[in-house]
């Protein structure tokens, strides 16, 4: 068994958000996904992001409000999760004025029949 701690990871600031990617952890490259933690400061907002991977995020501490493709933000409380589809533009808000928001995210490229079906839908 291996354990991974947020405080042990290399910090990569992205705007006001601290990003801790798992790339530097032992055996992280052997996993079928990539992962990271990120910390949004009290009252802060993440930069807008869009990427080709699916992303499953779990709110570790605090409460998030997630806006996708410009829609009204959806509240995701501590212990809750949200799944972002490939290509969805998203912004994560920390609504708490007194503590940071910490989110764990795993992300990967969709594979198999579902991806092939989506490609077929987008071709025509």
Each residue's pLDDT tens digit, 64-83: 999 999 999 999 999 999 99
| pLDDT band with cut points at 50, 70 and 90 for residue 122 | very low
| Mean pLDDT value across residues 90-119 | 84
Report the relative pairing of strands 64-68 and 90-94 from DSSP bridges.
antiparallel
pLDDT of 121: 47
Q: Between 114 and 104, where is the model more confident?
A: 104
Can you give the pLDDT at residue 99?
96
List, edge to edge, every strand of the sheet that includes 17-21.
11-14, 17-21, 34-40, 101-108, 54-61, 81-84
H-helix or E-strand spanning residue 113: helix 113-123
């Amino acid at each position: 068994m291996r354990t991974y701690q947020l405080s042990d990871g290399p910090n990569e600031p992205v705007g006001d958000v601290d990003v801790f990617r798992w790339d530097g952890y032992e055996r992280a490259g052997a996993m079928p996904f990539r992962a990271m933690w990120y910390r949004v400061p009290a009252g802060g907002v993440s930069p807008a992001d869009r990427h080709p991977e699916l992303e499953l995020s779990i709110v570790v501490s605090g409460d998030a409000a997630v806006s996708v493709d410009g829609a009204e933000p959806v509240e995701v409380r501590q212990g809750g999760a949200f799944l972002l589809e490939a290509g969805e533009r998203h912004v994560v808000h920390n609504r708490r004025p007194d503590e940071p928001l910490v989110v764990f995210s795993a992300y990967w490229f969709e594979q198999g029949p579902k991806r092939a079906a989506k490609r077929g839908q987008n071709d025509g």
